[in-house]
Every structure is written in C-alpha cells, then in structure tokens.
Amino acid sequence: MYEVTRGVPQPLGATPDATGVNFSVYSESAYYVELLLFDRHDSPTPSHVIRLDPDNHRSFHFWHCHVAGVRPGQIYAFRADGPRDTEHGGFRFNPNKVLADPYARGNDKTLWDRAAATGDGDNVATSIRSVVLDPDDYDWEGDEPLRRPLSETIIYEMHVGGFTRSPSSGVAHPGTFRGVIEKIDYLKNLGITAVELMPVFDFDETEVLRTLPDGTQLRNYWGYDPFGFFAPHSGYCTQPEAGSHQREFRDMVKALHAAGIEVILDVVFNHTSEGDHRGPTISFKGLANETYYHLWAPDRRYYMNFSGCGNTLNANSPVTAKLIVECLEHWVREYHVDGFRFDLAAVLSRGPNGVEMDVPPVLWAIELSEVLAETKIIAEPWDAAGLYELGDFPGKRWSQWNGLYRDQIRRFVAGEPGLVGSVAARLAGSADLFAERGELATNSINFITAHDGFTLNDLVSYNYKHNEANGEGNRDGSDANYSWNCGIEGPTDDPAIEALRARQIRNFVTILMLSRGVPMLLYGDEVRRTQRGNNNTYCQDNELAWFDWTLLDKNADVLRFFREIIAFRKRFQTLREPKFFSGETNARGVPDVSWHGTRLGQPGWDDPNARALSLTLGGLGDDPDLHVLLNMFDLGLDFELPQYPGRRWLRAVDTAKPSPEDILPAGSEVPVDGSSYHAYGHSVVVLISAPVEGR
C-alpha cells in the first residue's frame, strides 16, 4: 500500500517530487473524490483506489493528496460524486464515470470508448487515463522562446498530422511531431519564420462524426475539440503509451528553434470534446459541469452553444479563467512555445451570463501575464453566435485574424470593381481598424487562405464549394468564398486557364507580402495543394487534406516564386514596418507612401469601375524606393511611373511573365526604359529604384 498524506491544493494536476506525487483537482460541489491508480496504461481496473477524506484532503474547492512511492509514468484517473440536479443546478456528477485530470500533462486513450462514456454505466475498462510526467526530465540544451518581433514574422499555418501523413512525405514517422522535425529543412528553405500548428492539445481522434453510405467513417481530423489542455495530443506521438508526450513535443520545438522557426499553437478555449447534454463525460462534466460551462438558465441540463460545437466554456468564471491562463503559461514555461492563436476568441469576451463584457477578466489576465509578456497572442475575433470584434477586440497587444483583409483582397484579385480604396487600406496595415485604438499594423494578421476555407489553388479553380465528401449534403462550409475559377470549374488541361490560375496565385502571395501587418500562409499553398473544392475538410483525414509532396516537383515554378517573394519581403524594411504610414519623407524626399492609379496621383478612390491601383513606397534608411502596380482588369494597362533625379526603375516582379522571369533574385533585376510600364491584365508588378549608373 502507498502512504497517503494530506498533500497541498496547489498546483493543480499531478506534481512529482522527491518522494512521490501530489494530486490536486477542482470540484467545489463534490461529496467525495476518488483517485484511481492503474498498474498499466491498458489495465482494465485500478490496482489502488484512494478515497479522499473531505476533512483531511479538501481545501475549499480543491481535493488533494500526496501519495508516496508513486513515480512519473504512473497511470491515474478520478471519480467524483455529488448532486444530481441537472435542471436547476447544472450538476452532472456520476460516480460510475472515470474522469481524466483536467491538468494532466499526458493522457492515454488505448482503451478509450466514447460511447461507453456517454451512458450512465461504469466505463472504467474503457476510460481515458492520465499519465504522471516529470516536467524536469528533459535537456533543453539552452533553448528558449525566440522572441522574434511580430514585424519580422511570416506565419505558416499547418496541420501536424496532415503535413507528413501522406506516403509521399517519405518520413520515418508520418503524421507526428517527429515527422515535422524531418521536414524542417523544407520549412527553413521556404523562408517562413513561424509555424502555426492547428490544435495539438489532446483531442479525441476516434470520434466518428458520421458514416457515409459506403461505410466510410468520417472522424475528427482538425482537432478543434480538445479535452486535455495541458497535454500534447497523443495521436501525434510515436509512443504515447510510454509517456512520450512531453519529450516528443519538446524535441520538435527545440529543432524548429534551432532552425530559427517559432512555434505558435492554435488553441481552443471556447468549447471541449464533451459536447452537449448528449455527449460523453470525459473530465469537466463529471467534476464541475456547473462551473466550467455556459448553461441555459431556464433549464441547466442544456448548454449554451456560442461555439457551434455543442457547448461553450465559461471562460470568465474564476476557475475556468485560472485554467486558461495557467495552461498558456504552462506551454510557454514547459514547452518554450512562442505564441498562441485563439480559435473563436470572441467567446472569451462573454461573461457568465453569455453577454459580451467590456473588460473580460480572462483576456486581460492573458495580456498582462508576466510569463506571457513576450509571447505572441493572436485572436480569431469572432464566434459562431454572431459576436464580431475585428478592430475592437479587448486589450491592446492582441493581433487579430483580419477577415476583412482576406475578403477584400480576394474580391479585388478576382476582378471586382470599385474596391481600390479598401485595398489600399488593407495594404497599409488596416489603419482604419486599428489606428484609432493606438495599435499598430502588426495587430493585423493578413491572410488570403487558412485551414477554414479554400486552399489558394482552389480559390482560383472553383466558383463554388464542393463539400459532398463530408456527408452533409454540401451544406457545411462557407458560401462566401469570393473565388473565381478563371473560366472552368475544377481541374483543366486548358493551358491558358492554367497559366491564368498560376498568375492569380502569384498575385495573391505578392500582395500579401507587400502589405504592412503580419502575413500568414496556409501550408501547401506554395505548391498548389488542392482539396478538390472542399472548403471544410475538418473530417477528412485522407489524401484530400494531406500535403502531397509530389507537388514540389510538379509545381516547382510556384514554389520558387513563393521562396523568392518571401525573401523579397525580408529585404525591405518598409514592407515590415510595424507602424502605419504617416506621410513622412525619406532622405530623397519620397513620402513613405503615395497612391496612384494608371496616372500618377490619381488613385480613383471614387471610381466605381476601378480595378487598378499603384503606389510608391519610400525606402527606409538605405533601402531603395519601391513602386507597385496592381492591374485586375482583364486587359493590359499602361501605368505612369514617377521620376526621381539620378534614379531609375528596375523590374523585380512581374507576375504575368513566365518563370523564372516572374520574380528576379536580388542583384538580377532588369532596368525599365521610359516613363511608363505596361502591366498585363490580372498582374502585379514591383519595381525597385536604383541610382543611374555613373551618378
């Protein structure tokens, strides 16, 4: 028998020390809590059951004990019993249910059966179990978060599993954290500075969302359905049954940092995998359902669904806010993570009654945390129930996914007229959204595509979504794609249409890299990854959503363009300046920005037919000036060029030209003769000023 003593209430979770492990869990309304210890990860029953005495092992909200002799690697779980009044109190205690630790550093799902966790019966033989892990058992070899300024950041959003799961990846450990390590050279050569990993908190990848008529089971692929906020997803580990969670994730972070690449996590604090009143009891429901979730006031059996996923975490209740902040600090301290992107972050603005708060405690606690002070925090500033906070998100240093940038640039490049004023605002860092609040251009995360929607290839290949494979009658996914198929829906062998599509892809990424703010790319866009028109592959753990590594050779010209345009952005400070344009001139008397149309000084802000815009960017410091031409008419146009004494223009980018003339590396730019430049229809041109030879 183990020696069990009182232990301490803080920190929550399982904390090893020199003699054993301290266990602590929150459950304010429980009558009793039991700690279950299992000999093995696949043991059907516990070898020891320790009932915690409320007089000795309870401190207000927390149940705790110290168990001498328990070591890291121990498999454990909880049971709890308490009130059963779901209608009025919202309590869902059931002593038959085995509960994972909300603060567990690792979990094992070897025996997990989601259906058994849903009914009233005992599920001990098929439960999720937690694993005691030692946070100090690792050699970081001097690694620490990179702390790169946001203005120097280029984000690459990717799915850990989908990045290497295809057999074409050729990695030894496909679909895992180790698989990512094997592809770091590719990421480094691409030039991105940060990976934004779609959810890596532990989630239930076994959950069958629906079964198609042919028997195909569609499962939770994306991972936006967590239950283990402190634990790396066991499905991305090669040996989760051996407690490899910490080591394998840390290995990946350390290797990425060594390559100069930051790690940003896409985190989901708006809901959990436990779903609505019909969903399973995994952890939170069985410990403190009434605390952790927004419940429907008239009948607290039911959940408020601001997330669109069945339940909503009550993020601004003190205990949930504590969990969220401690979770983030845990990932920074213990895993050296560089930043977080918050899924449906507007949910975190909602108070205990579900109404938007002016000063949400949890968001300000994140912003003001000393541990998170140099950590990137990025909000998706809306939720599934209509709360939209782009440009008005609480706090000051939060960067925000700029959905307006995505939509207006898509519409402009597709050829919609009358948008040049809006496009100028997006190119300039969206000062109309952020400047009045005293924020910066780096508060804007600029993107054209993301996991949620078309890939870049599909954006120029489909007018409509094609989500039939999801089994929802093509009703899922957004209908507001602002896409243009360039003349034919889907794949084609027509060389003219293929050339136009490739040019449109180059247009999009060029505009993205020329815009002030923080650019974000979707993984695989650089090689024209396609999802065959599916804009919502949340349930497609197959070739439809995986990175196809054969595309590196097939679309080598597009990959080259992406590498070069990323390198181009890194060369010029004016493209990375975190501040908004102010009209200040450089040493040559060139303003930081001047707006034009085809004629200088005439941008056509009020022209409802305008589809062309040009701008001059005054170089900062020793940087040369840049001149940009954007022509989204079908036909070519002649653009006047500004003339400066002793200077001439060199062509660096012309997306209408064939590779490798479409973008020229530093030092190989081509002189431009005359006072105008002919930009072909649907093209972007970038010129660099240089001294006239001999002056």
Pairing state between β 58-59 and 62-68: antiparallel
Cis peptide bond upstream of 591, omega within 30: no
Count CA within 13 A, CB hemisphere, residue 522: 26
Q: Give dist(CA 531, CA 331) in Å, integer.
A: 32
Residue 1: band (very low, low, confident or very high) from pLDDT cuts 50, 70, 90: confident
Across 131-144, average pLDDT: 96
Q: Where are the beta strands (DSSP E) in 127-248?
A: 129-131, 155-158, 194-197, 201-203, 208-211, 217-219, 226-232
Give the per-residue pLDDT at 162.
98
Average pLDDT over residues 315-343: 98
375 located within any domain? no
- Look at residue 233 and tell me if it is in a domain: no
Average pLDDT over residues 634-638: 98
Last residue of a domain, one of 96, 131, 166: 131
Q: Which residues contact 204 (CB under 8 A, 6 or more apart)?
A: 109, 112, 114, 220, 225, 227, 273, 282
Asked, for residue 627, whether it belongs to a domain, the answer is yes
Mean pLDDT along residues 9-19? 98
The CATH number of residue 630's host domain is 2.60.40.1180
Q: Is the pLDDT of residue 695 over 70?
A: no
Q: Tell me the pLDDT band of 693, cut-offs 50, 70 and 90.
A: confident
CA-based torsion, 329, 334, 337, 340: positive or negative: negative
Tell me whether residue 99 is in a domain. yes
CATH number at 73 reads: 2.60.40.10
Number of folded domains that form the chain: 2
Q: Residue 122: inside a domain, yes or no?
A: yes
pLDDT of 241 above 90: no
Q: What does the pLDDT read at residue 242?
A: 86
Average pLDDT of the chain is: 97
With 90 as the cut, is the pLDDT of residue 694 above it?
Answer: no
The answer to the question of residue 422 being in a domain is: no
DSSP reduced 3-state for 671: strand
Instruction: Identify the pLDDT of residue 243.
Output: 87
Mean pLDDT, to the nearest integer, of 297-321?
Answer: 97
> Of 131, 155, 180, which residue constitutes the final position of a domain?
131
Mean pLDDT of 357-376: 97
Q: What percentage of residues in the chain have a pLDDT greater than 70?
A: 100
To the query of whether residue 380 is one of the catalytic residues in this protein, the response is: yes
Q: What is the pLDDT of residues 595-634, one digit of tens each?
A: 999 999 999 999 999 999 999 999 999 999 999 999 999 9
What is the band of 561 on the pLDDT scale with cuts at 50, 70, 90? Answer: very high
pLDDT mean over 645-671: 97
Final residue in a domain of this structure, among 111, 131, 151: 131
pLDDT for the residue numbered 438 = 95
Q: What is the mean pLDDT of residues 358-382?
A: 97
pLDDT attached to residue 482: 98
Of residues 205, 248, 338, 343, which has the active-site annotation? 343
Q: How does pLDDT run across 51-64, given as a tens digit for each residue?
A: 999 999 999 999 99
The range of the structural domain enclosing residue 88 comes to 3-131
34, 202, 380, 625: the catalytic one is 380
* 394 part of a folded domain: no
Helix (H) or strand (E) holding 15: strand 13-16
Question: How far is 612 from 682, CA to CA, in rounded Å?
Answer: 9
Give the mean pLDDT of 274-296: 98
> Looking at the domain assignment, is residue 196 inside a domain?
no
Beta strands 62-68; 376-379: pairing state: unpaired
Whether the CB-CB separation of 319 and 310 falls below 8 Å is answered with no
